[in-house]
Amino acid sequence: MVLLQALGYISFGLGVLLVIAGVSTEDFVFFNGAISLLISGVLFLAIDKIVTTLVEIRDAVRGDIENKSQAVGVTTKSTEEGKFSEPTKTLAELSADLEKMKKRL
């Protein structure tokens, strides 16, 4: 969202230039544009922050969905490439664990 940040800072810069022009010429016409540019700068930066936060939330949610096997407690062995190859528990061990849990209830 570099574009939104750039537009925000450009709006601030132009707003400050219009304030300086208005003060130096003692003409209040420049202040109307300066105020609107300063408000636009604040809004652009706020929209950038909102979009960035939503992207982070989306990435966090997608990360949880992709790592669902780790959330339920199934651990995996890591290979040398850093990828996961196989679960540490076999199907028979998982079935036995499920039977134990059913007996507890």
- Domain residue ranges of the chain, discontinuous segments joined by +: 2-66, 75-105
pLDDT band at 23 (very low <50, low <70, confident <90, very high): very high
pLDDT at 65 over 60: no
Q: Residue 14: pLDDT band by 50, 70, 90 thresholds?
A: very high
Q: Residue 83's pLDDT band (boundaries 50, 70, 90)?
A: low
Tell which wins on pLDDT, 70 or 48. Answer: 48
DSSP string, 46-94: HHHHHHHHHHHHHHHHHHHHHTHHHHTT--EEE-TTS-EEEESS-HHHH
